[in-house]
Structure 1
Amino acid sequence: MTGVRKTYSTGVVEVEALRGIDLEIDNGEYLAIMGPSGSGKSTLMHIIGCLDVPTAGSYLLDGTDVSKMSEKQLAEIRNRKIGFVFQQFNLLASLTALRNVELPLVYAGVPAAERRERAMAALDKVGLAQRVQHRPGELSGGQQQRVSVARALVTDPALILADEPTGALDSHSTREILDLFGELNEAGRTIVVITHEADVGQQAKHLVHIYDGLLREAAPIATAGVGR
């Protein structure tokens, strides 16, 4: 993305949440974006995830400028190219782990037999093959987050975008989720984590800091690695 700005109007004043962001995320990268509350990191996440569009500037995802797309087009991009992992898991309490993971495929119109096969494979990948018929209330916090990671993976997206993914977890579950992200990245998946926790950010291969709507510091942690 180049020169990305985002301004919100309250009706009385305008607030500039992003003030000119230049950021390139290569395929296969594991990037952490760190910043305190109010720094603009959530706004940046929404734009990377095609949940919002910039007020100015451009954002190319796999070579296509998504900045001027309609909401319908953005929804299609999200469903095909991006998997989301949220702090509060966002699982439906009445559905089993299997059915929760199947949901993105339901929205995509995938036939039932294929949905089940792909959801089972995703749950197996995150180590929950024996918990597919459990509902969220029957799973630990770490297991629920693994279900949400499986849901993010089931459409085989180019990018996994995780918003404060360990914020609701204890230290043991945090370690499990971070290890899982590392394994997925080693297998070639692009991972972008939004966090305010330094220990979480340090697990990435590339770390950038955002303050007051600007990227103030970029620090390579190891060798760096889908939006431009």
Structure 2
Amino acid sequence: MSALLQTDAASAWSDTSAPVLQLTDVRKRYETGALAVDALRGVSLQVNAGEYVAVVGPSGSGKSTLMHILGCLDTPTAGTYHLAGVDVSAMDETALAHVRNARIGFVFQQFHLLPSLPAWRNVELPLLYAGTPRSERRERAMAALERVGLADRVDHKPNELSGGQQQRVAVARALVTEPALILADEPTGNLDSKSTADVLGLLADLHAGGRTIVLITHDAEVAEAAARVVRIADGLVTEDYLNGGAV
């Protein structure tokens, strides 16, 4: 990516007038030999800064494919995707890697914690990849763990933590770079009801603090925790409404 485009991409995140996410007629087709599957069949969606949006749909609806495109983990077959006002197709892999590491915080159903590392070392990993100095990495990791209520578990390894605590570590890792956008893909899928409520409470707190949250889920009850719900089925958006009124 050119130096000018790098500057534009960086400054766009501070421009709250541009949508954080804007998809226009996005399509995604997977082909294996003679078999072709249209996972997305023309999705148009806009998410503005500070929104809390849940994308809900059953297995096979296209929601995971949508999440991968939103997180710059996959590219559309057709259509356009603008992230903070910048056309993602114009970014090279170096720029995309920077966006994924520094601008987006990911939380997954599988916690993706390294079993040999204590909580704070797992949380510092995005900062390590970004080249942040060691002393600053530890300080910021500790602060992120305190923020999610795990100040007393910083030296515990994943197998010494409950499922809910492991997901809190994953949320802390997503927060440690201070990203503008949090993408949470089925973050409560492996949790009991209490841990689910705890994680949803964390996401609500982040939203209240100004973060843009996109929550991907199959669970309609979990989706209702968001301020806005987008329903997807068969690769298409079927509903888009605010809790309490239509968008």
TM-score (norm 2): 0.88
Question: Is residue 154 from structure 1 mapped to residue 138 from structure 2 by the alignment?
Answer: no
Give how far 1:68 is off: 4.1
SS of match in other structure, 2:98: helix
When residues 185 and 66 of structure 1 are mapped into structure 2, their CA distance, relative to the original with a 3 A threshold, is same
Q: How does 1:13-24 map to 2 (within 5 A)?
A: 13-24=35-46
Structure 2: gaps of 5 or more residues: 1-22
What percentage of aligned pairs have identical amino acids? 65
Partners of 1:189 and 1:217 lie apart in 2 by 23
Question: Is residue 72 from structure 1 mapped to residue 94 from structure 2 by the alignment?
Answer: yes
The structure with higher relative contact order (CA 8 Å, sep 6+) is 1
Q: 1:197 aligns with which of 209, 219, 235?
A: 219
Tell me which amino acid in the other structure corresponds to 2:46.
Answer: E
CA contact (8 A) 2:203 2:213 kept: yes
Q: How does 1:136-151 map to 2 (within 5 A)?
A: 136-151=158-173
CA contact (8 A) 1:206 1:223 kept: no
Q: How does 1:118-137 map to 2 (within 5 A)?
A: 118-137=140-159
Q: 1:42 aligns with which of 60, 64, 78?
A: 64
Q: 1:167 aligns with which of 178, 184, 189?
A: 189
Partners of 1:168 and 1:29 lie apart in 2 by 25
Give how far 1:194 is off: 0.4
CA contact (8 A) 1:162 1:193 kept: yes
Partners of 1:114 and 1:98 lie apart in 2 by 12
Partners of 1:67 and 1:48 lie apart in 2 by 12
SS of match in other structure, 1:27: coil
SS of match in other structure, 2:47: coil
Deviations 1:161-194 (A, max 9, x none): 0010000000000000001110110011111110
How much is the aligned-residue C-alpha RMSD, in angstroms? 1.5
Partners of 2:194 and 2:126 lie apart in 1 by 29
Q: How many equivalent residue pairs?
A: 225
Residue in 2 aligned with 1:180?
Answer: 202
Residue in 2 aligned with 1:86?
Answer: 108
CA contact (8 A) 1:49 1:82 kept: yes
Residue in 1 aligned with 2:118?
Answer: 96
SS of match in other structure, 1:22: strand
Deviations 1:117-170 (A, max 9, x none): 111111111011111000011111111000000000001111110010000000
Partners of 1:77 and 1:62 lie apart in 2 by 11
Give how far 1:218 is off: 1.0
SS of match in other structure, 1:58: strand
Question: Is residue 55 from structure 1 mapped to residue 77 from structure 2 by the alignment?
Answer: yes
Partners of 1:3 and 1:144 lie apart in 2 by 37
Deviations 1:41-66 (A, max 9, x none): 00000000110111111111111111
Tell me which amino acid in the other structure corresponds to 2:99.
Answer: I
SS of match in other structure, 1:23: strand
CA contact (8 A) 1:29 1:189 kept: yes
